[in-house]
Amino acid sequence: MTTPLLTLTDRGLHCPDGDFTIDPWRKVDRAIITHGHGDHARNGMGHYWTAAPGVPILRKRLGQYSPVEGVPYGERRTFGAVTVSFHPAGHILGSAQVRVQRGDEVWVVTGDFKREADPTCAPFEPVPCDVLVTEATFAYPIYQWPNPDTVMEEIYAWWQRCAAEDRPAVLYTYALGKAQRILAGLHAFTNETVWLHGAIDGLTRIYRDAGVTMVPTVPVSEMPRSDRGAGRLILAPPSAAGSKWAKRFRGASTGFASGWMQVRGTRRRKGYDEGFVLSDHADWPGLLRTVEDSGAQRVLATHGHTDALLAHLQGLGIEAQALATPYGETEAE
């Protein structure tokens, strides 16, 4: 009997035959990276392979001269007896599913993904496989995303309400991916300049260089100190909430854009004025559809919230198990 194609070690999802690890969280020589979020792309690996559009993001996170190699979507690379290719996951710019093939056995690791349209990245592409390793961040049937266009409209309307009251609107959002998705989505309504926290500004430049159309932006640091942002929309990472930086925007209305805002308890506990249900992860129907599209007879779920999904898939006669990974812990979504 041959070894399993991928196996979970204390470093990550390891392929013994190809001698590489997918999204390792401890040091390995050869790392295959699904996308540039901090819980998936970590420092200290010997060599990195990632989907070509994700290279600038990885370099920004890991350093300009880090050993990162971009592979175009769909192109096959050989690692020993194993073939590896990257396929769009629709999560953020450069995000990929990793397809691993040995003989006629195919495994697909989705990484983080979503099925909704997103103007900032290539859309998710279903990849047939025998074993699907799927994320399960929002794996409960209560998570059924509203139409993202409607959510963008809500964000814009909130900004306009704040502007009418002469208040700043500070929207907290993940700096990589979600922020740029919002900037691109707002373009349908306005061409007014949005202010950015420093952590978002650098990443937004990468998106612009990649040709993503977004509303004009300016880093907050370039605005005169006396301007307190009344009537402005300001994007900032959640870590800036309650900080000295945020104090500048006196009387601001605060918002948070995240899939977690679907649940009232979370929404109220986080203490933002507004919660916008906008996620870069698959919702429950998205997860089920992806399993179905893949045709996989075996599903392994990562990210912790797996109990409902596993029970549901087992009910459909699919072999389903959980994989204990630390994904989703460092960067909340």
Partner 1 sequence: MNAFAALLTALERARSTGRKLELLTAYFKAAPAGDAAWALHLLTGRRPQRIATGPELRRWLGEATGLSDTVLEATYAHVGDLAETLALVLPPPRAGTQAPETSLQALLENTLAPLRGASAEARKSTLLTLWQAYPQGPRLWLNKLITGGLRVGVGEGLTLRALGQAFGLDPAVLQHRWMTPQAPTAEAFNALVDPEQATLHWAAPYPFCLAQPLRDGALPPHPSTAVLAEWKWDGVRCQLVRREGKTALWSRGRDRLEDRFPELTAAADDLPEGTVLDGELLAWAENGPGPFVELSRRLQRKRVTAALQRAVPVRFMAYDLLELHGEDLRPQPLEQRRQRLETLLSPAPAPALLLSPRLDNRSWESLAALRADARRQAAEGLMLKHEASAYESGRRHQSWWKWKLDPETVDAILLYAQPGHGRRANLYTDFTFAVWDQGALVPLAKAYSGLDEPTLERLDHWIRRNTKERFGPVRAVTPALVFELAFDSAHPAPRRKAGMALRFPRIHRWREDLAIEDADALETLRARLLPHG
Please report how close the Cβ of residue 307 comes to partner 1 at its closest, in angstroms. Answer: 4
DSSP codes, 250-282: TT-EEEEE-GGGGSHHHHHHHT-SEEE---SS-
Q: Which stretch binds partner 1 (CB under 8 A): 37-45, 109-117, 292-300, 303-311?
A: 303-311
Q: Min. distance of Cβ 154 from partner 1 in angstroms?
A: 13
Closer CB to partner 1, 144 or 221, in the complex: 144
Residue 318 engages partner 1 in binding (rule: CB under 8 A): no
Which window, 28-36, 127-135, 234-242, 308-316, contacts partner 1 (CB under 8 A)? Answer: 308-316
Could you tell me how many residues of this chain bind partner 1 (CB under 8 A)?
A: 19
Assess 302 for contact with partner 1 (CB under 8 A): no
CA distance 223 to 227: 7
On the 0-12 / 13-18 / 19+ scale of CB atoms within 10 A, 1 is: exposed
289 binds partner 1 (CB under 8 A): no
- By CB under 8 A, is residue 307 in contact with partner 1? yes
Nearer to partner 1, 16 or 141 (CB): 141
Cα angle value 136/53/132 (rounded, 5°):
30
Task: Enumerate residues 125-144 that contact partner 1 by CB under 8 A.
Answer: 140-144
Is 10 a binding residue for partner 1 by CB under 8 A? The answer is: no
> Could you give the C-alpha distances from 200 to 107, 151, 204, 225, 274, in angstroms and in order?
34, 20, 6, 19, 20
Residue 27 in contact with partner 1, rule: CB under 8 A: no
Residue in the structure block whose two tokens are 């025998």: 130
Residues 6+ apart with CB under 8 A from 39: 25, 326, 327, 328, 329, 330, 331
Query: Among all chains, which residue has been given the structure tokens 């983080």?
Result: 112
Binding site for partner 1 (CB under 8 A): 140-144, 262-266, 268-269, 273, 305, 307-308, 311-312, 315
